[in-house]
Amino acid sequence: MTALAPVRDVLDRQLGKVTMYRLVTIVLSLLVVVYAIFTATGVIEGLSTGDNLLSLAVLLVASYGSSRLLGLAFRVRPHAESAVITALLLFFLFVPIVPVETSDLVWLAIAAVLAQASKYVLAWRGRHIFNPAAAGAFLVVVAQELVGREDRINAIWQTAATEKLFPFVVVGALVVLWRTRRLDVGLLFVAIATALILVRLLDLASPDQSFVDVLKLTAYSYPIVFLAGFMLSEPLTLPPRRRQQLLVAAVTAVVFAYPTWIFLFTDTPPDLGIFAISPEIALLLGNLVAFAFARRSGLDLELEGSRRLGGDTHELTFRSRRAVSFVPGQYLELSLPHSGMDRRGARRTFSISSPPEPGRVAVTLRVPEKSSSFKRALLGLEPGARVRGTGIGGDFVWPSDPATPLLLVAGGIGITPFLSQLRHEGSRDAVLVYGAASPDEVPFAEELAGVRVVLVCPGRPGALPEGWTHVDAPFLSAEIVADTVPDLASRRAYVSGPPAMVNAVRPGLRKRAAGLKTDYFSGY
C-alpha cells in the first residue's frame, strides 16, 4: 500500500487537473487514433481507415450541429464537449460499416441527432434519463423499422471489443473509472457479465478449447469493459447512492448476459424484433432502474446571500420553494449556464454545508484567483438570482447509531460535509482533526466552537476556541492523528479533503480505526 502511494498521488493529482468531460474526450480520441493507425497499417485487417474516419466525421458534425440547434430550441446552452463524447461513443458502437454507403452515413447522422434529442426529450427536470449514445443506437433502429428499411445499420460494438484494441480499452476504462471513483461499480459489472457469459460459453465449448481460449473469446467478442468504463459510469444516469449504483451495475450485467443464456432454456427463443436484448438495450434498462432510485425532482434555487469566510473560501445560501431533502454529508449538483463558459462546463457538485432545514441549503467553495468560469459566475450572482439544482447524492454519511464514536479528518475545503453533519448532530461523540494551510485560513471557527478540534497547521494561531488544540506541522498524517486521538481504535474514521491528503492518511487509519470512509475533493 505504501509503495503504491506515490503513484496513486500522482495519478490523482494529474487526473484532477482535467474535468471528466475532457478526460473522457481525450481517452476516446486516443482510442480512435490507435484504431485508425491499426487499420491503416494492417494490424486490424479488412477495414478501410478512410471509411471509418468519414463515418466519424459525419457523427461529429451531426452530433455537434444538432446539439447547438436543440439548445436554441429549448433555450439552454448546450455543452459542446458532451456532444463530441456522444459522437465518439457512437463511432465505437456502429463502426465499421463495410462498405460504407451514402445511406449508411445518413443513418449514422440520424443516430447522432436522436442521441442529442434524447437529452432533451427523454429527460426529467433537466436531467436525461438514458445514456444518449445508447438511446441514439436504439432509436435509429426504431426509425429504420418505421420507414421499412430492410438493410439496417445496427450497433454491433465490434470496434469496442476488437482484440488488438482491447488492452488500450482496458487502460482507458480504468483511467475513467479511477477518476470518477466508480472503479468498484465498473469492476462489479465486468465480473458478473464476464462470469455469466464465460460459464455459458464453457458449456458450449469444444473439447480442444481451453479455459483461457474461452476467456479470450469472451473478452474479445463482448464490449464488457468498454460499456463499464465509458457508458455505465456516466454520472447523469447513475443513482445517487453507492449501493444503488452497485445494484444497477449488477442488474445491467445480468441483462447484458441474457442473450448468451437464452438458448439454455429454449431452442427457439422469442423473436423480440427491435427489442431483442443487445448491449445498448441492457444499458437502457439499467438506466431505468437507476431512474427509479434517483431524485426525480429538480430544485429551483434562489440565492439568499453569500459570505466570505476568510481567504478564498465562500459560503452561498439558497432558498427553494420545495423542500430540500438530503442527508448531512451529501452533495448538491448545480447547473449554471453562463457567458464565457470554459471547458469545465455548466455543472458542478458541492458538498452541502448546512443542516437539513425546510427550503434552505448552503454550499461552501474555494474560489482561487485562477478559478473556473463556473465558480466565478456563481460567486458573481446577486441575491435573488436563480440557479438550478439538478441532483443530490453521495454516501459520505454518518452511521445511523448515534452512540458510535467518530473521528473526522478534514483537509482544507474538505471540512464542508462535516459542517452539515456537526450543525445537524452536534451532540455526537466526535473528534475533528483539521488540516489547514495556515492559522489564518480556518473558516467556520465560530461554528466549530464547542467541538473537540485538533488544528494541524504550520505556525500557532493567536487564539484558539475552547476545546481546541494545535499541532505545528506542515501537513496531516496518520501518525499525528494517532498521537492526538488516543482512543482512535474505538472510533469510526471519516476522511475528507484533497486526494493527496486522503491517500496519505488512509492506509494508517485503516489499520488503527474501527472503520473508515473517505470523500475525495478532486480538482475542478
Q: What is the rounded CA–CA span in Å between residue 391 and residue 421?
A: 19
Residue 48 is predicted with a pLDDT of: 86
Please name the residues in contact with 435: beta carbons below 8 A apart, sequence gap of 6 or more.
409, 410, 411, 412, 456, 457, 475, 476, 497, 501
Q: Nearest to residue 280, comparing CAs of 173, 132, 419, 396? A: 132
**Fold for domain 5-293?**
Ammonium transporter fold (1.10.3430)
User: At 157, is the secondary structure helix, strand, or coil?
Assistant: coil
For the chain, which residues make up each domain, given as ranges?
A: 5-293, 299-393, 406-520
**Fold for domain 299-393?**
Elongation Factor Tu (Ef-tu); domain 3 (2.40.30)
Please name the residues in contact with 247: beta carbons below 8 A apart, sequence gap of 6 or more.
289
Strands of the sheet containing 515-520, edge to edge, are 468-472, 452-457, 430-435, 406-411, 492-497, 515-520
Residue 1 is predicted with a pLDDT of: 45
Q: What is the CATH number of domain 406-520?
A: 3.40.50.80
Q: Are the CB atoms for 389 and 299 separated by under 8 Å?
A: yes
Strand partners, 265: none
Residue 312 is predicted with a pLDDT of: 85
B/e letters for 75-92, b = 16+ CB within 10 Å, e = fewer, are ebbbbbbbbbbbbbbbbb
Q: Which helix (H) or strand (E) holds 331?
A: strand 331-335
pLDDT tens for the chain, residues 1 to 524? 455 556 777 777 778 777 788 899 999 999 999 999 999 999 998 778 899 999 999 999 999 999 999 999 988 778 888 999 999 999 999 988 777 889 999 999 999 999 999 999 998 766 789 999 999 999 999 999 899 887 778 888 988 889 999 999 999 999 999 988 899 999 999 999 999 999 989 988 899 999 999 999 999 999 999 999 999 998 888 888 899 999 999 999 999 998 876 655 555 555 555 556 799 999 999 999 999 887 555 688 999 999 988 778 899 999 998 888 899 999 998 988 888 877 677 788 899 999 999 889 999 998 887 888 899 999 999 999 999 888 888 999 999 999 999 999 999 889 999 999 999 987 899 999 999 888 777 777 778 878 899 999 998 777 788 889 999 999 899 999 999 999 999 999 999 998 889 988 999 999 999 999 999 886 44
Give 351-371 as a 3 state SS string.
EECCCCECCEEEEEEECCCCC
Residue 265 is predicted with a pLDDT of: 54
pTM: 0.85
Check residue 245 and give left, alpha or beta (phi > 0: left; psi -120 to 50: alpha): alpha
Residue 88 C-alpha cell reads as 465518439
Q: What is the rounded CA–CA span in Å between residue 471 and residue 460?
A: 8
Q: Are the CB atoms for 130 and 252 separated by under 8 Å?
A: no
Check residue 274 and give left, alpha or beta (phi > 0: left; psi -120 to 50: alpha): alpha
Give 244-309 as a 3 state SS string.
HHHHHHHHHHHHHHHHHHHHHHCCCCCCCHHHCCCHHHHHHHHHHHHHHHCCCCCEEEEEEEEEEE
Q: What is the rounded CA–CA span in Å between residue 258 and residue 260?
A: 5
Residue where the block lists cell 446577486:
382
